[in-house]
Amino acid sequence: MWILHVLHIIIPNRRYYCVYGNNNSLFVHDLQKEYTNTTTTTTTTTITYYYYYYYYYYYYYYYYYYYYYYYYYYYYYYYYYYYYYYCCFCFCYCYCAAASSPPPSLPTTTTTSTTTTTSTTSSTTTTTTTTNTTTTTASATATALLLFLLLPLILQQQQHQQLLLFLP
């Protein structure tokens, strides 16, 4: 059974996530777990993640890998090269965009920081807890870049539909 594995390292707000999958599903794995530092500050990052972007090109390439592998040896290697080029390009985009805004495939990033401070005097113990929640949404520029990245796939799909007419 032909299985194509997809591996992405995306960096929203400099947190590392691994996106991977096979022909049935995709998964997101957080490479950084929730942590607590010496000042008792706990930071948790929750990402609202939509798979439409990864599913689109993932199944797109899965289908044509499978098809041309059996019918056209040349096309198999052509799309093999194009797939890795596109993956590399997406990775570079995600890396560059992380400094200012999340990638467009990560529309919303919510970060909650809780700081607990305990002060003890001779007769009184004071505990202060401060919670800050920050929500970041991908900008319109990031969305435009996503459409720009998807354009080659749309054009390639149109070419594939024409090529399929000549296949047995």
Entry pTM = 0.20
Q: What is the dihedral of CA 23, 57, 98, 25, to 10 degrees?
A: -20
pLDDT at 130 over 60: yes
Give mean pLDDT, residues 145-166: 48
Q: How far is CA 153 from CA 30, 115, 148, in A?
A: 28, 46, 10
- pLDDT confidence of residue 113: 59
**16-31 residue pLDDT tens:** 444 444 444 444 444 4
